[in-house]
Amino acid sequence: MSNTSTRSVLILGARSDIARPLARLYADEGYDVVLAARSAEKLAADTADLRIRSGRHIGALEFDVLDTAGHRAFADQLNPLPDIVVSLVGLMTSQVDAQNDFAAAELMIRSNYVGLVSILGEIANRMEQRGAGTIVGVSSVSGDRGRATNYIYGSAKAGFTAFLSGLRNRLFGKGVTVITVKPGFIRTRMTDGLDLPALLTAGAEEMARAIHKASKGKQLVVYRRRIWRLIMLIVRCLPERLFVRMKF
């Protein structure tokens, strides 16, 4: 895929609970791994541990999804350009805060959509020029239809899902694969203490395995857990006059 014999993967949003098990899966498979996140120095323990366990090159880069002016320079420093790029970047804050304070809404929109369009667009252009690569974007089932309880977060995820779909269509036949992963509930630090339904909730390691598998397979849109595909099909098909009465 790349111009060197060593395969590599870049994980954006690498302070996510999913990042460490995902990085381990790739490293165990023989990939060099670059973890990118804000306050990248806090990844030092993870990079050292993975380096010792796998014997691969494990690096860390400073990355801020909100710093769109710096994204071209960030992409330029990726040498070699990774074979696989996975975006775990995401931010969900209170719907009530976001609907009453545009600054809170804008932060979610920029974190979940605007910044990702910027950085993945830079990387996609370089992969297209090379003629090879895989981009995996983790979106959300929340983007499948706007709901009263999280419509600002959901609208940003809907935009990101549409962006990935269009990018996939644009790059079809050019050697670059774009994959959309749509989780439902995920058991992480962010959801700690919430009473989540076990059947609908994936753990961080389960999500890591699903993302890793998706990046190797042919399925371009992946729901995790798979029951969410059926749930969201039903939700999307509900008539609007009925849907507006359902406050969930």
Question: Which residues are paired to 85 by β-bridges?
Answer: 10, 135
164 backbone dihedrals φ, ψ, rounded to 5°: -65, -40
What is the full per-residue pLDDT of the chain (248 aa) written as tens digits?
A: 444 468 999 999 999 999 999 999 999 999 999 999 999 999 999 999 999 999 999 999 999 999 999 999 999 999 999 999 999 999 999 999 999 999 999 999 999 999 999 999 999 999 999 999 999 999 999 999 999 999 999 999 999 999 999 999 999 999 999 999 999 888 776 666 666 778 788 889 999 999 999 999 889 999 988 888 899 999 999 999 998 988 77
Query: Helix or strand or coil: residue 86?
Result: strand
Whether residue 71 contacts residue 42, with contact meaning beta carbons closer than 8 Å, is answered with no
- Catalytic residues, by residue number, are 153
Structure token pair of residue 111 = 């974190």
Model confidence, pTM = 0.91
Distance (Å, rounded) from C-alpha 31 to C-alpha 37?
A: 19
First-to-last alpha carbon distance for the chain, in angstroms, is: 44
Which amino acid is residue 46, in one-letter code?
D
Q: Identify the CATH homologous superfamily for domain 8-243.
A: NAD(P)-binding Rossmann-like Domain (3.40.50.720)
